[in-house]
Every structure is written in structure tokens, then in C-alpha cells.
Amino acid sequence: MNLLKEASQASAGENSVLKTWHVEHGTAASLRSPSQTLSHLSARLQGGETTLLADGRWYLSCVVQHDAHALAKVLGALPMAGAPACLPASAPGAAAGKRKRAGGGGAGPDVRCSHAEAVWVFFGQNCGDESGGMRGRPEHNDDISHSGTWHMQLSGAKVQS
């Protein structure tokens, strides 16, 4: 949260956190303010805040991009910075290089894979009545230009039904 808070305080012209801040699920007005939300959550994680930001279930998203320093700090804080090891990837930010398809032998076409210079962050809270769980978004296609995505969950559990 501290890294997102820092990224959200970057110059407004290139501040992707503020530009891409989106309430995916939840209705509390406080969730719509990146500075209020990130300040509250940072303090809560450090033990300085004991109240919930908003009751019940909510989740938010934002994208960290256009700020190489902020992006490097966010990627560096993850247990695995860059694309998963199962993908034949270049270093984050490097141009895509040709790699042989996994499985060896040189059979098949070359595969290009690189990590884009962006991280799409989702975070939230799922507390309150345990009977219903938090509903995810309906199946959808994101309107972004890419060849695929990968996901890393850092806390909690996701139950598919």
C-alpha cells in the first residue's frame, strides 16, 4: 500500500494510479478517493489505524505505468518480479526476444514473450456476512492491448464456483 501511495503522489500529468483508479465492487464514497483510501490502508497495515475504510466487501484496481521508478519499486516488492518462470520471458522492460518453445528440441515456431511496463493492481476487503461471499465481475474481455496476462495473489483465497 505504501508503494501505491507513493506512486499516486507522483506528478499529476503522468500519474497512472490516479488516472486508472477504479472501484470494481463497493459503494462507500471513501473508496473513490485514491489518496484517502491509500493513506488509510497504509496506516492500517502499520497498526496506526484500527477502523475499517468501508464496511463489508469491496475491491479496487489501478495500473502502475509511465513512471519507471514507481514501476520498479512495485515489481521489486513482489515475491517474483517479472513474468512467471514458466514463460520464456525477457527482463521487465526489455524488448521481446525470440525464444524456442518450451519443451526443447527447437521444434515449432519461435515464441516472443516480454513483460509490459505496467502492473495492474487489484486489492480489496472481504469481511462481514460470510454467507454470500464477494461476487467477481461477470466474464469479460478487458479493453487493453496485450497477448495475455498472468496473475499473482498475495493474500487471502479465491474460491471459484
pLDDT in tens, 26-80: 888 889 989 888 888 888 888 877 777 777 788 899 999 888 888 888 888 888 7
pLDDT for 160 beyond 60: yes
Confirm if 32 and 60 have CB atoms less than 8 A apart.
Answer: no
| Pairwise CA distance, residues 3 & 146, whole Å | 25
Whether 17 is in a domain gets the answer yes
Whether 45 is in a domain gets the answer yes
- Write out the residue range of the structural domain in which residue 62 sits: 2-81+117-126
Model confidence pLDDT, tens digit, residues 71-94 = 888 888 888 766 666 666 544 444
Task: Give how many domains the chain has, as a whole number.
Answer: 1
Task: Give 112: exposed, middle or buried? Use CB within 10 Å, 0-12, 13-18, 19+.
Answer: middle
Predicted local confidence at residue 52, as pLDDT:
77
Which has more confidence, 141 or 19? 19
Whether 54 is in a domain gets the answer yes
Whether 11 is in a domain gets the answer yes
Predicted local confidence at residue 13, as pLDDT:
63
The band of 21, judged by pLDDT with boundaries at 50, 70 and 90, is very high
Whether 71 is in a domain gets the answer yes
Whether 12 is in a domain gets the answer yes
Average pLDDT over the chain, rounded to an integer: 74
Whether 47 is in a domain gets the answer yes
Counting residues of the chain whose pLDDT is more than 90, the rounded percentage is: 4
